Amino acid sequence: MIGQSALFLIVVSIVVLCLLVVAFYSLRRARRSTEGSWESILQRLVLVDRNGIEDIALDIIDTAGKRRTDDDSFMMEAKEIWTLVGGWKGLNALEANCLVLIDLAFYLQQLYPEAFAVTQQLRLSAREIEWQISRLKIAEKTGKLDGTITMYGQHAIATYYLMTRRLLDLYAQLHSPMLPQLQKVL
Partner 1 sequence: MQVTDLGRWLWAAGFIGHILLFTVLIVRSRAQQFPIFTTFVLSNLVRTVVLFFILKFGSRHTYYYTFWSLGALDTLLQFGIVYEMYAKTFRPLGVWASDVRRAFLSLIFGSLIIAFGLTMAAAPHTKLPIQSTILRADFFSSVWMGELFVGMISISVKAGLPWQAHVGRIAKSLGLYCLLDTLIGAMATHFGLDQSTAPYLVLQQIRQFLYLGCLSYWIVMLWKEAPDPRRMSDELRLRLIRLQARVEADLHWIRARHPS
CA distances from 80 to 6, 16, 90, 97, 126 (A): 64, 52, 13, 22, 24
Is residue 14 at the binding interface for partner 1, with CB under 8 A as the rule? no
With CB under 8 A, what is the number of residues at the site for partner 1?
60
DSSP secondary structure code for residue 72 in this structure: T
Site for partner 1 in 88-127 (CB under 8 A): 102-103, 105-106, 109-125, 127
Nearer to partner 1, 29 or 89 (CB): 29
Give the span between the Cα atoms of 8 and 148, in whole angstroms.
51
How far, CA to CA in Å, does 183 sit from each of 54, 81, 111? 14, 24, 20
1 touches partner 1 by CB under 8 A: no
Binding of partner 1 by 154 (CB under 8 A): no
Q: What is the largest CA-CA distance in the chain?
A: 77
Separation of alpha carbons 129 and 98, rounded Å: 8
Report the DSSP beta bridge partners of residue 61.
Answer: 67
Q: Given the rule CB under 8 A, which of 65-73, 81-89, 139-147, 176-184 is the region that contacts partner 1?
A: 65-73
By the criterion CB under 8 A, which residues form the site for partner 1?
4-6, 8-9, 11-13, 15-16, 19-20, 22-23, 26-27, 29-30, 33-34, 61, 65-67, 102-103, 105-106, 109-125, 127-128, 131-132, 151-152, 155, 158-159, 162, 166, 169-170, 173-174
